[in-house]
Structure 1
Amino acid sequence: MSERTTSSSWAMGIVKALEMDGLDCRALFKRLGLDFEALDDPDARFPQDSMTRLWQLAVEISGNPAIGLNMGKVVRPASFHVVGYALMSSRTLVEGFQRLVRYQRIIAESADLSFRHLEEGYGLILTVHGDHLPPTRQSAEASLACALALCNWLTGRPLRPVKVLFQGAEPDDVAPYQQAFGAPLVFDAPCDALIFQQDDMEAPLPTANEAMALLHDRFAGEYLARFSGSRVTHQARQVLCRLLPQGEPKRDVVAQTLHLSQRTLQRRLQEEGTSFQSLLDDTRRELAEQYLAQPSMTLLEIAYLLGFADPSNFFRAFRRWFGTTPGDYRTRGVAKPVSDARTPEYTARTP
């Protein structure tokens, strides 16, 4: 079974966060059977479950359940591997977060990110997965603290989120959270998320550099291709992209192309956290966004390129994906993902 992994860059950020509470991370790594020296290898990766055990052990020894928030105090673009430099060279935080979503698996495979334009601003929404072990709340809280700190670092000024959502229950002591985020807090939320003001996200970044952004895109893309090359999910997605213009691909055809039985294909995809139908749906959704960014392509052409025999099926699928029609989505512009009608309103706790 393929294990989810975390980059050495992110693991180093965790180490620095734990050391702020006086923990001996070299000793912790030894206790967990991890190679501490591998932190200096930019291409090294650590099993996700090992990072989960590291957080658990750190909370147990330090007695500080909010220790994950320390990550916001040590974050720099380097903590995000090559993705951090791609963010730094982006024109705006909107563009930067779109890159973060695209390349997030380079940093850690344990999290799914989405970035949406909501009625109250922009939302960076995080879902942390475990591997064999359930994820810790410290992992999600560290990611949120890092995302906000990175925004502050890139803009050169402190940003105050509209609100911050946490899946975890409200802790006994909320003071560390109030200090870390300086924004209304929502606990027991259905997701972990940062909600930002629109103006903050769309303001030009002082570190923007289009040429460097393209260069870092290339580096990140090459790394992701190397990293994903051995994954059946990546290989199946490539096959789907080739077959879709010929009509909706069937599982047996994709399996045959990959020299696998249907049962083996489904098992391997399940081990990597997806299914054939989910992968097909995700691939269509991603391609739809790319095609709609091309003004010369008609909606009818896009529907057939995505393998829909009937354009009405494309329109129904698109509304399910984005909560609007392809035409309205194109009019609003790809740089501003549409409002997710399924995102509920929350009552926030104000610090």
Structure 2
Amino acid sequence: MNLAEALTHPDTFPALAQPAFSGHQGILAAAASGLEAFIARQGGDPERVLGVCHIPPSLLNQPTQSLTLPGYCRVMEEAARQTGFDNFGLHYGLQFKPQQLGLLGYVGLCSATVGQALHNVAFAFPWHQHATLTRLVELEGCVRFDYQIRHGAIVSQRQDAELTMGMVLNLLRHALGPQWSPKEVHFEHPRPENWHEHCKYYDAPVYFDQPVNSLFIPRADLLRPMPESDPVLLMVMQDAMRRLNQSSQPLSVVEQARSAVRQHLPQGEPVLEQVAEALGMSGGSLQRRLGEASLNFSRLVEGVRQELATHYLAQRHLPISELAFLLGYSEVSAFSRAFRRWFGSSPRAWRQQCPPA
């Protein structure tokens, strides 16, 4: 079976990629399996972490119930903060067995080959976690599994990204062996202080400040069979995921636009027409929809930049010069003038006065 056959077997879904915006904003509680116990093992107080994030502990014991995606990401960041364990998401993800992911985990486990497992998980992932992009990209000698949250209200995503990539790694190691490693690993967020742990656990080069979170998998590994392949159970799991998503609520145009702006900023100044195109509409239509929410495009961009600026400044290891370019400014001086207009002080003074993340 060649690569094309491995990715387009009749038991798989008919496409490799999901739309950029799936239109929803929840996540199945299976993604938090064992979270309370893991927080406790790191010396944290699970009830306090969940309480700060307004998440009822009872929800975590119901894997097919839905948590809000902003709340879920906040729990991971809060757990890292309260435990003082900076690589919380990395370690939580690497101990996360595929079966713990519930329906999505079994979609991967029941697939025929590693290639089909990646294909099926990439397609089904937005049903498990909404407002998310997952896709497979074919490259020379390998394929790239991409993961990216596209929810405009979520700024801090590091712990979730490291958790999710660890989950995918464990699915691959289930078939390829515990010592298997990818060719490369990419993360969107800046390099953390203890980044050597990432290199150790992935046993591969790890790069930060990348456009998207990615695992690079050699093509030859895609043909390896999944140990518990079960085409009948696969169809049952896929159908169950579809049914769970029938009552989901759509993201607003403002939230979608904020997400698109956030993704565009590292490439430079956001342009109305480009953001509108990402949402499948014209520039005029987007302006009208923003106007209905008492916004215009310039104010929306500035709001996203303000939120990201304070988040990045709290990452003490990130130079202010890099921060300016992450926010789409061509010069550090332009960012400094904007920041002083927003907050009445320079970025450097603000960082000195505020506690680190």
Report the Cα offset of residue 16 of structure 1: 4.7
Report the Cα offset of residue 17 of structure 1: 4.2
Aligned counterpart, 1:117: 138
Report the Cα offset of residue 130 of structure 1: 4.0
Does 2:62 align with 1:41?
yes
1:205 aligned to which of 226, 241, 256:
226
Deviations 1:214-258 (A, max 9, x none): 22222223223x244x54x8xxxxxxxxxxxxxxxxxxxxxxxxx
Give the TM-score normalised by the residue count of structure 1: 0.62
Secondary structure of 2:33's aligned partner: helix
Does 2:109 align with 1:91?
no
Query: Contact 2:111/2:229 (CA < 8 Å) preserved in 1?
Result: yes
Does 2:126 align with 1:135?
no
Report percent identity of matched pairs: 17
1:217 aligned to which of 238, 263, 286:
238
1:76 aligned to which of 91, 97, 107:
97
Gaps of 5+ in 2: 1-22, 261-274, 282-357
2:78 aligned to which of 39, 42, 57:
57
Taking the aligned partners of 2:166 and 2:91, their CA distance within structure 1 comes to 8
Taking the aligned partners of 2:69 and 2:46, their CA distance within structure 1 comes to 17
2:30 aligned to which of 9, 33, 39:
9
Deviations 1:181-219 (A, max 9, x none): 111111222221000111112211221122222222222
Tell me: CA distance 1:106–1:135, structure 2 relative to 1, closer, same or farther (3 Å).
farther
Taking the aligned partners of 2:236 and 2:69, their CA distance within structure 1 comes to 29
Report the Cα offset of residue 271 of structure 1: 4.4
Query: Contact 1:38/1:44 (CA < 8 Å) preserved in 2?
Result: yes
Deviations 1:59-94 (A, max 9, x none): 222222211111233312333231211111101121
Amino acid at match of 2:25: R
Deviations 1:139-182 (A, max 9, x none): 11111111101211244443210011112222222222122211
Does 2:170 align with 1:149?
yes
Does 2:170 align with 1:170?
no
Query: Contact 2:94/2:163 (CA < 8 Å) preserved in 1?
Result: no
Report the Cα offset of residue 110 of structure 1: 4.5
Deviations 1:250-297 (A, max 9, x none): xxxxxxxxxxxxxxxxxx44545689965669xxxxxxxxxxxxxxxx
Taking the aligned partners of 2:40 and 2:67, their CA distance within structure 1 comes to 19
Secondary structure of 1:46's aligned partner: strand
Secondary structure of 1:160's aligned partner: coil
Taking the aligned partners of 1:136 and 1:197, their CA distance within structure 2 comes to 27
Report the Cα offset of residue 107 of structure 1: 2.5
Query: Contact 2:151/2:255 (CA < 8 Å) preserved in 1?
Result: no
Amino acid at match of 1:200: D
Query: Contact 1:77/1:88 (CA < 8 Å) preserved in 2?
Result: yes
Query: Contact 2:150/2:256 (CA < 8 Å) preserved in 1?
Result: no
Query: Contact 1:4/1:131 (CA < 8 Å) preserved in 2?
Result: no
Aligned counterpart, 2:147: 126
Deviations 1:118-137 (A, max 9, x none): 11301101112344231321
Secondary structure of 1:52's aligned partner: helix
Taking the aligned partners of 1:171 and 1:73, their CA distance within structure 2 comes to 17
Taking the aligned partners of 2:276 and 2:240, their CA distance within structure 1 comes to 29
Does 2:190 align with 1:159?
no
Tell me: CA distance 1:146–1:211, structure 2 relative to 1, closer, same or farther (3 Å).
same
Amino acid at match of 1:59: A
Tell me: CA distance 1:107–1:172, structure 2 relative to 1, closer, same or farther (3 Å).
same
Deviations 1:300-333 (A, max 9, x none): xxxxxxxxxxxxxxxxxxxxxxxxxxxxxxxxxx
2:124 aligned to which of 75, 98, 103:
103
Does 2:236 align with 1:185?
no
Gaps of 5+ in 1: 234-267, 282-351
Query: Contact 2:98/2:170 (CA < 8 Å) preserved in 1?
Result: no
Secondary structure of 2:91's aligned partner: helix
Question: What is the alpha-carbon root mean square deviation over aligned residues?
Answer: 2.7
Amino acid at match of 1:58: A
Taking the aligned partners of 1:85 and 1:110, their CA distance within structure 2 comes to 21
Amino acid at match of 2:222: M
Report the Cα offset of residue 138 of structure 1: 1.2
Amino acid at match of 2:66: R
Does 2:52 align with 1:31?
yes
Taking the aligned partners of 2:178 and 2:78, their CA distance within structure 1 comes to 34
Query: Contact 1:112/1:126 (CA < 8 Å) preserved in 2?
Result: yes
**Count, aligned residues:** 243
